[in-house]
Structure 1
Amino acid sequence: MRDDIASEAEALDVSDDAVGEIHPLFRGAPSSTEFRKLRKRLVRETRAAIETYDMIRPGDRWLVCLSGGKDSYTLLAVLHELKWRGLLPVDLLACNLDQGQPGFPATVLPEFLTDRQVAHRIEYQDTYSIVKEKVPEGRTYCSLCSRLRRGNLYRIAREEGCTAVVLGHHRDDILETFFMNLFHGGRLASMPPKLLNEDGDLNVLRPLAFVAEADCERFARAMNYPVIPCDLCGSQEGLQRMQVKKLLDEWESRSPGRRQVMFRALTNVRPSHLPDPNLFDFTALMPDTSNFTEKQVPDLRGH
């Protein structure tokens, strides 16, 4: 499988002229060697995640969620790059859920998507008012906001005949969620790259699972995409995720590459070396003493 991924990734190492006009999402892309390497790395790692977690099914139609942040822009561009090159045989529909946050620039994404010739749907649902009403002062909005957004995205996916909801969570998001659950939830869990929703009719996919957040930031900045900050959650102080992010930043600064090592650990789990009896049958660990003789058994009483 890895060889197939490598050969397909090598197919991307050609000039845009060799395969025809580039996708409009890459209009104005820098011509520097550094950017070309970044672009190839993003495509290679995204393709690897799609293959590793078997994300594609025949006849798939993906609802690609676009918040206007750097990560979702990167997701949108890389998926269209793969499809443009003939490496992603699915239909793509971009979707932005306008949640009614005050000051949200409602025209930015529709204009961007139309200009870049991306099929899309813009949905307005005022979940902001619900979150502000239901969440007590001083508490974070993230949990309720996320549930309301997810419910609306599932509904939209069904209305549009989509088989999967595709999110822009990257490697660092997965790591941060793992440590949040470890420190605050008392469990070993994170964001899976692929899951089935509770109703069993939609997959939730995270094709950027192998991609570093820093690469998403570099890419969106280099492409000069109109990034929209989240003023609802991003303006709150002391979020658990921000605390974990700072901790991981400190570890990374002291030991470059530590994030990747920790992520690799999440893909190399040994249930027999963890104390959870639900993951491993410890009761079956019984030594075979049938061939022992009396002389082979140590006399602990000293006789």
Structure 2
Amino acid sequence: MNTTMDTITTDAAAAKKAAFEANKLSKRLHRQVGQAIGDFNMIEAGDRVMVCMSGGKDSHALLDILLSMRQRAPIDFSIVAVNLDQKQPGFPAEVLPAYLKSRGVEFRIEEQDTYSIVKRLVPEGQTMCSLCSRLRRGVLYRVASEIGATKIALGHHRDDMVVTLLMNMFFGSRMKGMPPKLVSDDGRHVVIRPLAYVAETDLERWAEHRAFPIIPCSLCGNQENLQRVQTKKMIREWERQYPGRIDNMFTAMGNIVPSHMMDRKLYPFETLRATGVADADGDKAFDEEPCAPPPPTPGALRIAPDSEDTP
């Protein structure tokens, strides 16, 4: 009898803790998405937001959070979910329509056989992402015009933005990231990334909690040697050794000091002259560089303030 009661008590405690953690995660995700939308004026009154649904965890979370936020938003905006069925072999075409109907959201499934085009043009073993992305982008821009969307929402998150910055540095020799908001390359659409402040690990937890019907990408999902995959593994390892490093890199993307970089288009180095006036933000070239803290000792307690500790 005592054993049964102990088991019930333990299960109840575990369920309570799980509910508390899920509630805390929900608050954090909604706060971060709301902050990103506000900081970059992503969604305005009367907008028709096209949420691009791939079937992965990120786009599922984006739609889920935007639907929730729309219910209590101080402005009125509409949402339409759009999925591009690229005709990949074995793609479960019935999964997303069934899910979107269950959520009561307007949606459109666009069928375009970009899979065959990519497989025909890209030699076996080479990266498919670039061509696939261009084809997909063109289709989605067309659909956005056809449905009258004023914003195109993509599910890229904080880690995607940091990885893109590093990849452009490593392989493109340029300081270029993935902005939270931009005008599309055809000049006709505004693209937004409301998950810009959200960590990928939180999206993984949210997808598990919400039990989204995840559809893996069979076209590129198994390309483990992709530079993007390797770069993501690298920053995950950095984060494990030095917690907060991804956040620091992400924050740095919004704290650019042109006078301390080398881009002559952004700062007039050629005409720079001594003024004789002290500048608190001037040259600190000989100052000691900030050092990263040592990695935490195994078993050590790390305490950080968290405003979400109350359910």
TM-score (norm 2): 0.81
Quick check: 1:219 aligned with 2:227? no
Match of 1:269 among 256, 259, 265: 256
**Equivalent of 1:40 in 16, 27, 34:** 27
Question: How many pairs align?
Answer: 261
Residues 46 and 211, structure 1, Cα contact 8 Å, conserved in 2: yes
Moved more, 274-283 or 67-76: 274-283
Q: Does 1:250 align with 2:216?
A: no
Tell me how far apart the structure 2 counterparts of residues 57 and 144 of structure 1 sit (CA, whole Å). 32
Distance apart, 1:88 and its partner CA: 5.2
CA distance in 1, matches of 2:188, 2:35: 25
- Whichever residue aligns with residue 233 of structure 2, its letter is K
Structure 1 unaligned residues grouped into runs of 5+: 1-29, 290-303
CA–CA separation in structure 2 for the residues paired with 1:217 and 1:31: 15
TM-score, normalized by length of structure 1? 0.83
Q: Structure 1 pair 88/207, CA: closer, same or farther in 2 (3 Å)?
A: farther
Shift of residue 44, structure 1, vs aligned partner: 0.5
Q: In structure 2, what is the Cα distance between the partners aligned to 1:243 and 1:186? A: 18
Query: What pairs with 1:75-86 in structure 2 (closer than 5 Å)?
Result: 75-86=62-73
SS of structure 2 residue aligned to 1:226: coil
Residues 148-204 of structure 1: per-residue CA shift (max 9 Å, x gap): 111100011100011111100000000011111111111111111100013322101
Q: Is the 8 A contact 1:172 1:259 kept in 2?
A: yes
CA distance in structure 1 between the partners assigned to 2:193 and 2:106 by the alignment? 20
Write the distance in 1 (CA, Å) between the matches of 2:166 and 2:74: 34
Partner of 1:153: 140
Aligned to 1:176: 163
List runs of 5+ in structure 2 lacking aligned partners.
1-16, 277-311
Tell me the C-alpha RMSD between the 2 structures. 1.6
State the identity as a percent.
54
- Does structure 1 residue 124 correspond to structure 2 residue 127? no
Question: How do 1:1-303 and structure 2 match up within 5 A?
Answer: 32-87=19-74, 89-288=76-275
Match of 1:24 in 2: none
Report runs of 4+ in structure 1 exceeding 6 Å deviation.
Answer: none
CA–CA distance in structure 2, aligned partners of residues 61 and 193 of structure 1: 18
CA distance in 2, matches of 1:35, 1:153: 33
